[in-house]
Structure formats: structure tokens, C-alpha cells
Amino acid sequence: MLGSAIIVFREVLEAALIVAVVMGASRGAIGRGRWVSGGIALGTIGACIVAAFAGRLSDALEGRGQELFNAAVLLAAVVMLAWHSVWMSAHGRRLAEEMRRLGHDVVIGAKPLYAIFVVTALAVLREGSETVLFLYGLAAGGTGQFALIGGGVLGLAAGVGLGFALYRGLLRIPLRRFFTVTGWIVLLLAAGLAASAADFLAQAGALPALSPELWNSSAILSQSGLLGQILHILVGYQDRPSGIGLVFYIVTIVTVVALMRWVGGHRHDAGRASLAASNTS
């Protein structure tokens, strides 16, 4: 039972932490709870479908189906997170200022909730399908139903609990810095997912690894440990990163920051102009 709890915990953790970051970063948006719940529900249904067709998916595209599917899911999440970051670069500062002025969260309707919905659904889809397959294997392998359900529930609860703890932790960041800090976490999260996508493409033989192991810091901070795993999810830490993974990581950061600067600069001027206009009128 403990064994199955640990595996379910590990699988759930990634989705739980991503949802926590997304929930934190979308603070103040109207109906975000509904969008996130919808994303979790859709992701869970999708995970069951993916698990049911795991065999066919694995055989598809000359045995590269699973890797290409994972890479596609990850890259789609990267695009959505990038969109969120770029949107925040245009609106985040004003949002934080208003929240500080009023002393509480303001509600805004225009936040990119589709992005939040899609990221949540994709995170649950990817990790959920592995959990479903694992539990299916246990059930088929004759583990007692009680142990199976008990372990699964325990692992799920622990994963969700850690996600919730992270969310509460994020909310303690002072408002002045809130969107800056969550913005950086979203950016690094996106970069880490892009690096994972690169590794899947290398595993499929679709991209060269460049170097399969740039360095090995597993003795300092192992990726198998809880802290290493959490940092892997949140900021893309890898104890033995590949060359192609690092390239994807850096390219993602540089691209998104450039877009943020560009859009943020433009919109900021526009925002100041409209603010000035409304003051004079």
C-alpha cells in the first residue's frame, strides 16, 4: 500500500505543483477556480482515454507515438504559460498596484483564463495517464482492492496537500513583489517543461541529445529525492541535464522575456497614456 502511495504521490505531485503555481499566478481573476476545476476534470477524463489507448499510442508513428505525444503536450503547456507571462507583463503591474491600493485582491475579468484552463488540463492529462496505468497494473497484478484504493488515495492526498501548501506559501509573498515572483516561477516552469519536451524528442531519436549529460550534480542534489523532484518541476532542475534540454531551457527563457519586454513596453506606454487621459477628463 505504501509503495503504491509513493508512486501515485510522485505522479500527482507534478500536476499538483503546476496547478498551484497557475492558481497563484492567476490571483484576482474572476472564476479561475471554475476554470481550474474544469481543467482538472477534462485532464482526468483525457488521462483515462490516453491510458486505455496506451498500447496503440506507444506503437504509433513507428514506436515514437508516446514520446511525440508527451513532447506535444509539454510544448503546448509551454506556449500557454508563455502567453500568460506575456499577458502579465502588460497588465501585472497595474493589477498589483490596484491590489495594494485597495488592500485586497481585485477581480478582473480579462485574464487569460483559457491559458490557465489548458495548462491545468495538460498537466493532469500527462501525469494522470501514468497514474491510471500504474493503478491498472496493480489491479491486474492481483493487489487487494483495499490496498490499491488506500494507497492511491493516500498518494493523491499527499500530492494535492503539497500543492496546496505551495499555493498558500505563494500567497504570503508581499503584493508588491507577488506578480514578479510568480511571473518568474511561471517562466522557469515553462522553461523546465520545454527541456523535458526536448528530452522526449531525443528519446524518440527525433533530435540529437547534443550531450546526454552536461554535468552530474546528483551527489549534491539528487533529482530522485523530494526536494530535487520539486525543484525539477518548478524550475526545471535536472541533476544530469542533456545538451538539447539546456538549449530548449535557455531558448524558452530568452524568447519569453523578449516577448514580455516588447509587449510590456508597448502596453505600458499605452496604459500610461490612457491613465493620463482619464485623469484629465
**Is 1 or 257 the residue whose CB approaches other proteins more closely?**
1
* Contact call for residues 70 and 125 (beta carbons, < 8 A): no
**Is 29 or 202 the residue whose CB approaches other proteins more closely?**
202
**Is 95 or 207 the residue whose CB approaches other proteins more closely?**
207
**Is 180 or 203 the residue whose CB approaches other proteins more closely?**
203
**Is 75 or 86 the residue whose CB approaches other proteins more closely?**
75
**Is 31 or 205 the residue whose CB approaches other proteins more closely?**
205
- What CA–CA distance (Å, rounded) separates 113 from 30? 9
Smallest gap from residue 27 Cβ to other proteins (A): 33
For binding to other proteins (CB under 8 A), which residues are involved?
A: 3, 7, 54-55, 58-59, 63-64, 66-67, 129-130, 133-134, 136-138, 140-141, 199, 202-205, 209, 212-213, 218, 222-224, 238-242, 245
How many Cα atoms sit within 13 Å of 11 on the Cβ side? 26
Q: Which residues pair with 29 in a beta bridge?
A: 108
- What CA–CA distance (Å, rounded) separates 233 from 135? 23
* Contact call for residues 186 and 56 (beta carbons, < 8 A): no
Q: What angle do CA 68, 72, 73 make, to 5 degrees?
A: 120
How many Cα atoms sit within 13 Å of 251 on the Cβ side? 14
Smallest gap from residue 256 Cβ to other proteins (A): 23
* Contact call for residues 59 and 65 (beta carbons, < 8 A): yes
Smallest gap from residue 163 Cβ to other proteins (A): 21
- What CA–CA distance (Å, rounded) separates 112 from 104? 21
Residue matched to cell numbers 483515462: 48
Smallest gap from residue 223 Cβ to other proteins (A): 5
* Contact call for residues 67 and 196 (beta carbons, < 8 A): no
Smallest gap from residue 184 Cβ to other proteins (A): 25
